[in-house]
Amino acid sequence: MTSSRSFVIPTAIAGSFAVLGCASAPEPPSRPTSVYDAATFYDSTAVFGGSFSADESKVLITSDQSGTFNVYAQPVAGGEPEPLTQSTTDSLFAVSYFPADDRFLYNGDSGGDELDHLFVRELDGSVVDLTPGAALKASFEGWSGDRRSFYVTTNERDRRFFDLYRYATDGYQRQLIYQNHGFFIGDISRDGRWLALGRVVSNADGDVLLVDLEGGPAAAPVQVTPDEGVISHGVVGFTPDSTQLYYSTDGIGEFDQVWSYTLSTGERQPVVAADWDVQYVRFSENGRYRVTAVNADAQTKITILDTRSGAEIAPPSAVAGDLGSVRFAPSETRMLFSLDSDTSPSNLYVWDLEAAPAAEPRQLTRSLTAAIDPADLVHGEVVRFASFDGLEIPGILYRPHQATATTPVPAVLSMHGGPGGQSRKGYSATVQHLVNHGYAVFAVNNRGSSGYGKTFYHLDDQRHGDVDLQDCVWARSYLETLDWVDGQRIGIMGGSYGGYLVAAALAFEPETFDVGIDIFGVTNWVRTLESMPVWWGAQRESLFTEIGNPATDLERLRRISPLFHAERIVRPLLVVQGANDPRVLQVESDEIVAAAKANGAPVEYIVFPDEGHGFTKKANRIAASEAFVRFLDQHLRGAAAAEAAGATGAVRTSAE
């Protein structure tokens, strides 16, 4: 669950839409655009990471260039990455190089079941599972300040709780240092003495606690954040000198701020505040640099502070897009960061801080396939419209190049997951594939989304299938006001909670949307809430506050569950599901498909046997994206119109 803030209700609606952005912009000219298949879009490479090696000559990254996510060593000087793992089945993800040699940590699950194990690859290439056992989940929690040990959490003792262990860097002997009973592990101070914990009371209320680890594994946590009403606090992290704990709070206004707690005195002081949520604050190895990220209207804005001089370091002039995943070399002389935009997948750059700001960063990866002309891709535009009650709803609108008032295009609402997620600016192969094939995409951040203030975030609490769904309905009405959109052909798609909104739209507003694409969406809230993975622990209480508790809200949960109203589904429906999904079980999709078919609705169903809650294999992502376009071509646009839409040229494939 995430939380975020800010909402505006226009003083007068008078039946019109309060719109910012492209609705008032001059119409761009239509331009010829090459049309590409999904394989070409996914021929691009997803890259993220990384961790500097001990000699700072390379960084440890994750890449799907082989078709499955694996671990690679990317030279800092540039050049091709070296594959370090070669899985062809399960996705593997880079964690960290060891501090003094080229051993490295990585993790992975089995077919998307989210039961991650932590592995180390030795210098000779052999692999050690540091967290062996069945049905357990483990996570890396960081290195000790002296780098002689590292921290790992596992739920092997009790599947509900994650205990904290210290592993020796040499030999991997481990010691239990905190036995957990329902808290979230936040951070461990560099000196190894303090452990910060998060406690969830509800989706609007949370506390931060401290444990003095010198008291042993059973030491009692002490709350350090103010307990003055319903306020959401969260752990940000300890300062490198182990004197302060940073924590987030929404108790001052609409947005998350970051405050400090001095361990020796208990004094609290504001550190960072903005007109949007502060996402995180991080430090370089010895605290020379501090990085702050702010979620500014669905985009990340980064600030880098030189703590010695107190001066901000301006981002490189060549940087255009969302700068993120900032990591510093141990020497604090280099900074690694990622950069993505609507028209470019994330790429990694390294920047020489000693030569900054004059030196430009060096690009290490080139993720977008050369088969795609970047000019054929589309930038999204942040727009807003007034919903049924005047509430201003934000979203990101993608307009195909061929869309004009004389050649209007069909459109699809894209609903994010969560509840409480946020559609953000940035590259999506699926979105670009749809837009490239002549579909406008409107990524709606309905009430309840993160990023727009705590009031906005909580407006849908226990009102799901109602006010959030009406935001979707009014988003369609907004699209109908755009002369370049074909107002007679508008569908809705989404994954997870977004998939729930798709099923809810087709069941509760059966005449509003022309088609629906449900990607592992919740259809039976009673079962989903009762079958949550046991390791979610206190997060259950957050979801019960947000959605409802089956023990006390059974009637309402059945009322808002599309499965129990599937007889109303009449519009074409495509359902896509991972067989190993631990969050939304396959039975959710099986049953809504069977019910809609029995009702006579056109239904297509795809199950990926090797995926979970989200698709990591490139072949599966290609198959899903092609299925989306085929389904929309047949049921939204119509086959003849789809053929005409591609008349500017044949669909180009990745082999061309």
Is 419 exposed, middle or buried, given 0-12, 13-18 or 19+ CB atoms closer than 10 A? Answer: buried
* Residue range 53-72: mean pLDDT, rounded: 97
Render pLDDT for 107-120 as a digit per residue (tens, 0 to 9).
999 999 999 999 99
Separation between Cα atoms, residue 516 and residue 332, nearest integer Å: 50
Confidence tier at 155 by pLDDT (50, 70, 90): very high
Query: Collapsing DSSP states into helix, strand and coil, what is residue 465?
Result: coil
Q: Does the pLDDT of residue 533 top 60, yes or no?
A: yes
Confidence tier at 435 by pLDDT (50, 70, 90): very high
Confidence tier at 651 by pLDDT (50, 70, 90): low
Render pLDDT for 381-425 as a digit per residue (tens, 0 to 9).
999 999 999 999 999 999 999 999 999 999 999 999 999 999 999
Phi, psi of 432 (to 5 degrees): -65, -35
Q: Does the pLDDT of residue 648 top 80, yes or no?
A: no
In the prediction, which pLDDT does 320 show?
72
> Which residue, among 633, 623, 492, 609, has the nearest Cα to 562 in the 3D structure?
492
Beta-sheet pairing, 138-143 with 149-154: antiparallel
Separation between Cα atoms, residue 390 and residue 357, nearest integer Å: 46
Query: Quick check: 371 and 327 in contact, CB under 8 A?
Result: no
Confidence tier at 29 by pLDDT (50, 70, 90): low
Separation between Cα atoms, residue 55 and residue 505, nearest integer Å: 55
In the prediction, which pLDDT does 359 show?
80
Both tokens assigned to 398: 């993608």
In the prediction, which pLDDT does 303 show?
93
Q: Does the pLDDT of residue 7 top 80, yes or no?
A: no
The count of C-alpha atoms lying within 13 angstroms of the C-alpha of 435, restricted to the half-sphere facing its C-beta, is 27
Q: Does the pLDDT of residue 350 top 70, yes or no?
A: yes
Separation between Cα atoms, residue 276 and residue 254, nearest integer Å: 8
In the prediction, which pLDDT does 360 show?
85
Q: What is the mean pLDDT of the chain?
A: 91
In the prediction, which pLDDT does 652 show?
53
Q: Does the pLDDT of residue 513 top 70, yes or no?
A: yes
> Which residue, among 76, 74, 77, 117, has the nearest Cα to 93 in the 3D structure?
117
Three-point CA angle 208, 214, 218, nearest 5°: 70
Q: What is the 3-state secondary structure (H, E, C) of 69-111?
A: CEEEEEECCCCCCEECCCCCCCCEEEEEECCCCCCEEEEECCC
Both tokens assigned to 630: 């085929």
In the prediction, which pLDDT does 5 show?
28
* Residue range 130-149: mean pLDDT, rounded: 96
For the whole model, what pTM was predicted?
0.92
